[in-house]
Amino acid sequence: MSENKKAGKADTFLSWTLGVLACLWVAWCCGIGPLYWFGTGLADFGWANVLYMAIAFVVSFAILWSLVRYGRGERVLPTYFSRRYVKLCQEVSGTPTTVLGIMLHHLSDAAHSRPGRAIHAVIVW
């Protein structure tokens, strides 16, 4: 392996490490923020704060991941969404149906797609 590829992998690892640490810092601040808003301290840290931290980490990491993909010139969203958007635009401009009817049609398609069936299985389980 050439020196440039080794250095590139090390730079990528360090960059992602810094990004994850920043996301953890944001999550920590979001997790303990409500404690200080209500005038309590870290002694009252509970499961709700852990939930706030987890949600904040997921959201901030998703934003970081999206920005990195956008910066590299890659797609941020899967092609599924762009195809749905094009299909929706064609339906809205080409047919006299209502927007609500189109939305219900797409909701039905999404419910019968693979991710929709997976979400349904998790909810039922």
**Residues 92, 53: one domain?**
no
Domain that holds residue 103: 79-124
**Residues 91, 61: one domain?**
no
Q: Which residue has the higher pLDDT, 95 or 44?
A: 44
In the chain, what is the straight-line distance between the N-terminal and C-terminal CA atoms, in Å?
47
**Confidence (pTM):** 0.58
End residue of a domain, out of 71, 89, 110: 71
**Residues 56, 97: one domain?**
no
Tell me: pLDDT of 94 over 60.
no
Counting the structural domains of the chain, the total is 2
End residue of a domain, out of 32, 47, 71: 71
**Residues 65, 118: one domain?**
no
**Residues 22, 56: one domain?**
yes
Nearest to 18 by CA among 50, 64, 69, 52: 64
Q: Are 18 and 61 in contact (CB under 8 A)?
A: no
